[in-house]
Amino acid sequence: MKMKEVRVVIVGFGVIGRGVLQTLREKQGFIRGKHGVNIKVSAICEIDGSVISNEGLDLDKVLDKPLNKNKFWTDKKTRDVIINTQSDIVVELTPGNIKTGEPGLSHILTAISAKKHVATSNKAPFAVAYKRIMDSARKNKVSVRFEATVGGAIPIMNLMDECLSVNKVESAYGILNGTTNYVLSQMSDEGVELDSAVKEAQQLGYAEPDPSYDIDGVDSAAKVVILANALLGMDVSYEDMKVTGIREITPEAIDLAKKHGFTVKLVGDVLRLEVSPRLVSVDHPLNVSGSLNALMLNTDVAGDVTIVGRGAGSRETSSSIIADIVTISKEL
């Protein structure tokens, strides 16, 4: 096997960016041995500057201290680095604004125009401008992969492309937000009110100080938009979604459901572009507990296939991001 050298630019050095570099450092030998791909990091961009090394950064050094204490630190802006640094793939890992898609949308479109491939975990740009991104990628003949935008560690896009490659997806249903699933599981197991389950989730770091993005179904809906475009070939964006969160769910409602063999889950219905609390039979594959995510694909040949796993976590999510980097690298 001939070794292929691939250069990546990492945009965004928060929890996810750090997680990707930590996993990359740990699994570099494995990836070289199994896939024949040697991944070098040419640059890491943050809002206040970048570290750049055309020979490849020393991951030990960039991971062990704040980025701006690094000897390769410069005040070069992200756009400039994306365009002008020697690289094959731009890995976009910034947090995104679900209304505008920024700053990720600009980063991704800039990378595509500069003929760089893209791997990303940033769902906002795809919830806002899926078609625009993919059209530009086609025009510029680059790959854009976004496995980690939906379901964290769970492979969904790649599952359909590579494993269920003979199938057409007819519909899909998902538990796509770990925070709300944790809150609903706690309400069911402990009989507590929503507010106290949310507080517990915040203490455990599962929920943000302002939990509305999760609780009101916004995060789930953004993921449904991506699945509708990617799996069902629709051309939709966030504004097409019907969204109801879990604020009105009471322990009494959950208890009543339980008595009849059901649980209450926040379900994303991809075909109907809807996120809403639904009754799920206790022995249904989508009845996953705690903060797990799950997606059921209704396919034309294989029938129903459900995949369950961790929807968040920087280490788990890095599995999807790096798999996308490896897939793109093999096509180069």
Q: Residue 270 corresponds to which tokens in the numbers above? A: 């991809």
Q: Report how many residues bind its own copies under the rule CB under 8 A.
A: 49
174, 285, 328, 332: residue in contact with its own copies (rule CB under 8 A): 285
Closer CB to its own copies, 81 or 286, in the complex: 286
Q: How many CB atoms lie within 10 A of CB 100?
A: 14
Instruction: List, in sequence order, every beta strand (DSSP E) within 86-167.
Output: 89-92, 117-120, 144-145
Task: Write down the least CB distance from residue 39 to its own copies, Å.
Answer: 10
Measured CA angle at 232 (ends 227, 236), to 5 deg: 65
Q: Which stretch binds its own copies (CB under 8 A): 93-101, 242-250, 267-275, 313-321?
A: 313-321
Closer CB to its own copies, 84 or 289, in the complex: 289
Q: Are 192 and 282 in contact (CB under 8 A)?
A: no
Whole-angstrom distance, CA of residue 126 vs CA of residue 145: 11
Whole-angstrom distance, CA of residue 277 vs CA of residue 184: 10
Closer CB to its own copies, 3 or 163, in the complex: 163
Looking only at residues 1 through 30 of this chain, which bind its own copies when binding is defined by CB under 8 A?
A: 23, 27, 30
Task: Write down the least CB distance from residue 211 to its own copies, Å.
Answer: 23
Q: Does 154 bind its own copies (CB under 8 A)?
A: yes
Q: Does 332 bind its own copies (CB under 8 A)?
A: no
Report helix angle 124-139 to 104-113, nearest 10.
10
Binding mask 225-264 for its own copies (x = CB under 8 A): ----------------------------------------
| Helices within 114-217 (DSSP H only) | 124-139, 157-158, 178-190, 194-203, 212-215
Whole-angstrom distance, CA of residue 181 vs CA of residue 187: 10
Binding mask 168-197 for its own copies (x = CB under 8 A): x----------------x------------
Q: Residue 181 corresponds to which tokens in the numbers above? A: 């699933």
Q: Are 319 and 28 in contact (CB under 8 A)?
A: no
Catalytic residue among 223, 259, 265, 330: 223
DSSP code per residue over 271-313? TTTEEEEEEEETTSTT---TTEEEEEEEESSS-EEEEEEE---
Q: Known catalytic residue: 223? A: yes
Q: Which stretch binds its own copies (CB under 8 A): 54-62, 100-108, 113-121, 166-174?
A: 166-174
Task: Write down the least CB distance from residue 292 to its own copies, Å.
Answer: 7
**Residues involved in catalysis:** 223
Q: Which residues contribute to the site for its own copies (CB under 8 A)? A: 23, 27, 30-31, 34-35, 153-155, 158-159, 162-168, 185, 282-285, 287-289, 292, 294, 299, 301-310, 313, 315-316, 318-320, 322-323, 326-327
